[in-house]
Amino acid sequence: MSMVKIPHAKQHALWDIPHMEENPLFTRIKARLDALNLSSNAASEKAGLDRTFIKQIEYGKKKGMRSDSASRLARVLKCDVGWLMNGEGDQSPTLADSSIKETPNVRLPHSSVDFVTGPRDLPIRGSARGGSDAFFLDNGDIQGMAHRPGALVGVKNAFACYMTGDSMEPRYEAGDLLYVNPIKPIRPRDYVLIELDDHQAYVKRLVKRTADKVTVEQFNPKKEIHYSANRIIHMYRVVGQITE
């Protein structure tokens, strides 16, 4: 009688077992889709994006997204764009509350009445320095007036300034109008505007500070920068932005 050899099922060593690559961006998107009972195709289309946009993120064809796409998608998913892009901040802030609470660092259209609620009495300070992400802040010039968001109503010496350069992309882009609260306490990981003793100012994110040194970071290119504490005239907290 001839023997029939039955092939064994392939056995994988532990290191051979296929696994799904972690995709934290899609995990956050999926959480909002589930909360809103939306399909990925429907959300993509509502955001004015290709209907397969979210699917491409899910399957790893897209590793990230541009800030304008993130802004559109965040509005459809009703979440903070900072949280959507990198997990920072609250998952789903209520825009109606922005008139009584600090405005999150959310990229919103300039015409958003939910965000811009106060009078047009907030001075826009600073003038850009060509070829650099620095600008002159304390030159006495007022570039114009902006609407005062609810978070800055009654805050003395609050002001706005235009972002220059691309060192903080994708968080902030050149032309974004940034809102500054000069009395808000500053903590590590807050976005700050630093004015140096030569009156040049920079927008960065605070890493840490000691009695003699302040360490900040930028995103493009990603690196840490160290400033001697005695060179810093002012360090202000950036509390919000509007995309022009």
Own/partner long-range contacts of 48-53 (Cβ < 8 Å, ≥24 apart): 48/72, 49/73
Q: Residue written as tokens 């070829």? A: 131
| pLDDT > 70? residue 223 | yes
| pLDDT > 90? residue 170 | no
Own/partner long-range contacts of 24-30 (Cβ < 8 Å, ≥24 apart): 24/87, 25/57, 25/64, 25/65, 25/84, 25/85, 26/54, 26/57, 26/58, 28/79, 28/83, 28/84, 28/87, 28/91, 29/54, 29/57, 29/58, 29/73, 29/77, 29/84, 30/58
In a domain, 83, yes or no: yes
Return the percentage of the chain with pLDDT > 70, whole number: 73
The identity of residue 40, as a single letter, is S
Number of domains in the chain: 2
Return the percentage of the chain with pLDDT > 90, whole number: 27
From 92, 111, 140, the end of a domain falls on 92
Supply the CATH number for residue 61's domain. Answer: 1.10.260.40
Per-residue model confidence (pLDDT) at position 22: 72
| pLDDT > 60? residue 218 | yes
Average pLDDT score over the chain:
77
* Cβ proximity of 72 and 106 under 8 Å: no
The C-alpha angle with vertex 179 and arms to 159 and 99, in degrees rounded to 5, equals: 105
Collapsed DSSP state (helix, strand, coil) of residue 95: helix
Per-residue model confidence (pLDDT) at position 138: 63
Per-residue model confidence (pLDDT) at position 137: 73
Q: Return d(Cα 22, Cα 54) in angstroms, integer.
A: 15
Per-residue model confidence (pLDDT) at position 139: 61
Per-residue model confidence (pLDDT) at position 144: 86
| pLDDT tens digit sequence for 29-66 | 999 999 889 999 989 888 888 889 999 998 888 877 77
Contacts of 106 (CB under 8 A, 6+ apart): 74, 80, 81, 82, 93, 115, 240, 241
Per-residue model confidence (pLDDT) at position 134: 78
Owning domain of residue 77: 16-92
- Whether residues 219 and 174 share a domain: the answer is yes
End-to-end CA distance of the chain: 84
Higher pLDDT: 133 or 40? It is 40
Any idea which of 120-129, 135-144, 174-183 has the lowest mean pLDDT?
135-144
Among 103, 137, 133, 136, residue whose Cα is nearest residue 117: 103
Per-residue model confidence (pLDDT) at position 89: 62
58 burial level (CB within 10 Å; 0-12, 13-18, 19+): middle
In a domain, 11, yes or no: no
| pLDDT > 90? residue 68 | no
| pLDDT > 80? residue 11 | no
Per-residue model confidence (pLDDT) at position 20: 45
Per-residue model confidence (pLDDT) at position 206: 96
Q: Which two tokens stand for residue 228?
A: 């001697």
CA torsion 191-161-134-219 (nearest 10°) is: 30
Q: Please tell me what DSSP assigns to residue 104.
A: P
| pLDDT > 60? residue 129 | no
Q: Please tell me what DSSP assigns to residue 173.
A: -
- Whether residues 162 and 219 share a domain: the answer is yes
| pLDDT tens digit sequence for 83-120 | 887 776 666 553 333 332 333 444 443 333 334 456 78
- Whether residues 87 and 128 share a domain: the answer is no
- Whether residues 25 and 132 share a domain: the answer is no
Higher pLDDT: 143 or 196? It is 196
- Whether residues 236 and 172 share a domain: the answer is yes
